[in-house]
Structure 1
């Protein structure tokens, strides 16, 4: 796989707008562990290796466990996630797959037991932002850092 183009170099003002949104979303007040889990789960669904690489490294640096990262794509079958994380992950999947799910009422209603209305908006913007980054990275074939010993020709 090789990159198609470098959006950062070609349209720096547009990418800066995304970076500014990312900064606002990251500093929205939602717990950092939830922020990382949502970003990783959406990136798994979208098949974005670049973002999975980035956000799993960040999650580890902020104390996330290997076990929770490994089991994230099977979160429904694992007791390692809190009720708050579970409804956030369900909402992440619903919005990431919105063309299929149409954002079910049940998933939205479940949020109300764990999040305030303001937090629901913030969570939705986290999901929206990572989905945008996934589309940029997958669309332009961004390549995550690779150690030479692991690189495949």
Structure 2
């Protein structure tokens, strides 16, 4: 069952994003889609790294759509469902690589207490990622968090979805 806390316009799209409450702000939705596509398809950070952060955010915000979509480029670059299943609380003891665990740790800190990005976490990030990659990851996290919270708080997303793959935003 899908419940929306606002009335959707008659011209809302068919996909979960353009068919959501965001359709009430078409210019903002278009700007989001452009920025989101830029971060995904014209950035410097690899797609599996961004996808790990996006999926961890989805689990923290409980966005049904975000939790169940997989972007094709991350999958093509090697992110698989075995890894995705480990993006849960307790990932520290998982089989994920140290780089993947670092991304999840940075994501959690960003989402929960961004002022607690201490010297140790900052140094670990700088040891693994370029400054450009850190900025891209952080900007992506802000978008993931903000827009998933919009979707969750306004409603209108399906209550459940199967896991599915879709093209990477461009």
Same fold (TM over 0.5): yes
Out of 66, 70, 76, the position equivalent to 2:85 is 70
Q: Within 5 A, what are the aligned runs for 1:75-86?
A: 75-79=91-95, 81-86=96-101
- In structure 1, the partner of 2:143 is 129
Query: Whose relative contact order is higher, 1 or 2, with alpha carbons under 8 Å and at least 6 apart?
Result: 2
Matched residue count: 142
- CA displacement, residues 64-102 of structure 1 (integer Å, 9 cap, x when unaligned): 3222111111321112x222222211111111113xx52
**1:41–1:72: 8 Å Cα contact kept in structure 2?**
yes
After TM superposition, the score normalised by the length of structure 1 is: 0.81
Unpaired runs of at least 5, structure 1: 148-153
Distance 2:156 2:117 in 1: 32
Does residue 19 (structure 1) correspond to residue 33 (structure 2)? The answer is yes
Unpaired runs of at least 5, structure 2: 7-19, 163-170
What stretches of structure 1 move > 3 A for 4+ residues in a row? 59-63, 144-147
Distance 1:2 1:47 in 2: 15
After TM superposition, the score normalised by the length of structure 2 is: 0.74
Distance 2:57 2:47 in 1: 16
